[in-house]
Structure 1
Amino acid sequence: MPHDNDKARILATLDRMLDDLDRHDLPARTTFLAAFYAEAVGEIAGLTDALNQVEQPPTKADLNQKTQVVCSRLLSLPEFEEFTRSGGLMAHQAEEILSSATAMEDRALAYGQHLGLATEKLDDADDREEIQKIIAEVSEETGGLIDQNHGLVEKLRESTETIQQLQSRLSEIQDLAAKDAVTGLYNRRYFERALNEMLPDPRNHEGRLCVIFIDIDNFKGFNDSYGHAVGDMVLKLVARILQGSVRAQDICARYGGDEFVVALPGIVLDDAHHLAERLRARMASTPLRKRGTEENFGQLTISMGMTAYHHPESADVLIDRADGALLRAKDAGKNILVLSE
């Protein structure tokens, strides 16, 4: 069963979605709810700003223009179908809750009126049976109101659980979409998005954000000599050592092929240099042996290129500089780290 803070968070999300619809004068369609849900949970950005822009006078946007804006944001999501499905189901849950709450409000209003009439009748009643009849009617009406209230509470509980399940499913899909299937590290798409989100943070300015590009030396030889199964084993080993060598706040990703990348926020180049050298030494001291047979596959070494962020440059410039340093490391004989300031 969801905790109270989960309920509050889910209801706040629903509230925000409905407010967004009302503010932009949009109908409660699945597409719009899906988009505002995706924005509420941080999967898409800029939807509200884009709608505000097309709604600026003197050109007031019609529904078709707004729909185009919403759909263009939704279609950028790899989890588009899941968000659309979730938006529709959340719309249904929200509609049921609002419908039950409205019915409850009407019932409470009628109950208040009934109570007022009963009070007047009791003032005028001078017969015991008549008084008992009035009290029985009030008691029956009170029981009905309590039952309806219980029904609303149960509906809210069921809806909260349904929405929580949808959010859990979406989290799983988002996690799969962000991870590399072989190593379990983040993939290139996730890394680039995460890096772009780090750049505006003032704590990462003045050279306090470093990026390391890593390439496995002679990886093609492992694949050619021992097959792709051993190649995958090497990739997994590098990923495991990499994750065990960096800080919790650092982002590690497989950038493609045998190339890895790490973003280290809030650290200066000298400190990042020491971390990278420890990583390189750890890789070189790790034996490459097949489990079970202890067959030796040779020595594992890596080449690295590293640089620091210079505000206000773009993520692309930062990545290109680190990648260029990596190329120089490979040209210089491998198993070394090259810095590019």
Structure 2
Amino acid sequence: MTNAIAKNVDEDDLADRVIAAMRMHSSPSYPRAFEVWYAHLSGAVPALSTELQHVLVGGGSVGATVIDGLYNRYMGSEHFAQKASRTSSQILDEIATLTHQINEALDASERYHGEISALSEQGPASADRPMLRKWVETLVLATRTEVASKTKLELQLRDSAREIRNLRDALETTRIEAQTDALTGLANRRHFEETLQQCFEVATSDGIPLTLVIADVDYFKRFNDDHGHATGDQVLRLVAHTMTEHMVDRAVITRFGGEEFAIILPDTNLNDGKLYAEAVRQALLKRELIKRSTNEKLGRITISSGVAAYKLGDTPTSLIERADQALLAAKRTGRNRTVTQDAIIR
């Protein structure tokens, strides 16, 4: 009992230290940030602690970009993999139990039919009333046992089926969580990489167009420094929401990392990809950001975008590099604009 109390006290103390550290370093206050700081202060993930300590010593900001990077590198994959593994194991155990129950029911049913067959062959003459009564009583008892067994099995099967459904839903939730960015609700970098690879295979085999847009929020670091990380998070959610509102068929919008977003556009050529990126940029210009805590008007958010289209011989890496080069060209030429690969190909 004493050890359990001591453990609870230690955990409460650690939680208090985590909250204090998050406040001290103006860290965002969503669950992923708490997990990262908890892992650091508890010493559970040494590599994460080393990198975070380097940021702190260097006087760097511990905002959403740093938090998400640390989480994805040191915690995300392992965390969700463990959850998925546990849930999968539970499903397999439940299926094994279900199979055992069915086999037991089949064995009981075979015994019942064997008993009935034996009773039929040994049935007494109708004139032998005492033996006839005993025969009927044995038959009734065997039937009642079979009915009870079937009723029990039905209840067990219903319970098992419900448990398997719950576990399957939990596994699906874990799968979605593993592919979703916690802050924006968009697909994350892992989902982006998987989807881009799939789209590449289709583009290569079937010759279907494929376009990639990489967008970056202009002056995001300055915005974070001036208004705080909570408002910076609000900016990222606003951009994500605007992109989602203007999403075209089959588009996959992802948070690429930090203040960068990547949009995969299957069956879309370069010009249409630019039109889509421009539609999002123009939509953002019509929205004024208001700080929720003070109702202060903070101005409008702008983004720069680079657009690249698949060409024969491309790899996912080469396509990303071209889109990124186009994005850099957009930033060098004044930001708040969309540039395609044509502007950088000589």
Q: TM-score with structure 1 length normalisation? A: 0.71
Identity of aligned residues (%): 31
Whole-angstrom CA distance in 1 between matches of 2:196 and 2:282: 26
What is the number of equivalent residue pairs in this alignment?
Answer: 267
1:105-124 aligned at under 5 Å gives the runs 105-122=106-123, 124=125
Q: CA deviation at 1:123?
A: 6.1
Contact 2:308 2:341 in 1 (8 A): yes
Whole-angstrom CA distance in 1 between matches of 2:206 and 2:277: 20
Q: Secondary structure at the match of 1:264?
A: strand
Q: CA deviation at 1:292?
A: 6.6
Q: CA deviation at 1:203?
A: 9.5
Q: Secondary structure at the match of 2:187?
A: coil
Range with bigger deviation, 266-275 or 136-145: 266-275
Letter of the 2:284 counterpart = M
Q: Aligned pair in 2 of structure 1 residues 220, 139: CA closer, same or farther (>3 Å)? A: same
Whole-angstrom CA distance in 2 between matches of 1:125 and 1:250: 80
The alignment yields a C-alpha RMSD, in angstroms, of 2.4
1:315 partnered with 2:322: no
Letter of the 1:187 counterpart = N
2:168 corresponds to which residue? 167
1:94 partnered with 2:122: no
Gaps of 5+ in 2: 1-76
Contact 2:91 2:168 in 1 (8 A): no
1:290 partnered with 2:291: yes
1:332 corresponds to which residue? 333
Letter of the 1:183 counterpart = T
Deviations 1:155-201 (A, max 9, x none): 22111211222222223333333222222222212211122122223
Deviations 1:279-308 (A, max 9, x none): 111112221222474422223211100111
Whole-angstrom CA distance in 2 between matches of 1:320 and 1:171: 33
Letter of the 1:103 counterpart = E
1:226-305 aligned at under 5 Å gives the runs 226-247=227-248, 249-291=250-292, 293-305=294-306
Gaps of 5+ in 1: 1-75
Q: Aligned pair in 2 of structure 1 residues 248, 133: CA closer, same or farther (>3 Å)? A: farther
Q: Aligned pair in 2 of structure 1 residues 80, 280: CA closer, same or farther (>3 Å)? A: closer
Whole-angstrom CA distance in 2 between matches of 1:104 and 1:162: 20
Q: Secondary structure at the match of 1:170?
A: helix
Whole-angstrom CA distance in 1 between matches of 2:110 and 2:144: 15
Whole-angstrom CA distance in 1 between matches of 2:222 and 2:112: 82
Q: Secondary structure at the match of 1:249?
A: coil
Whole-angstrom CA distance in 2 between matches of 1:296 and 1:117: 89
Q: Secondary structure at the match of 1:174?
A: helix
Q: Secondary structure at the match of 2:334?
A: coil
2:156 corresponds to which residue? 155
1:80 partnered with 2:52: no
1:45-64 aligned at under 5 Å gives the runs none
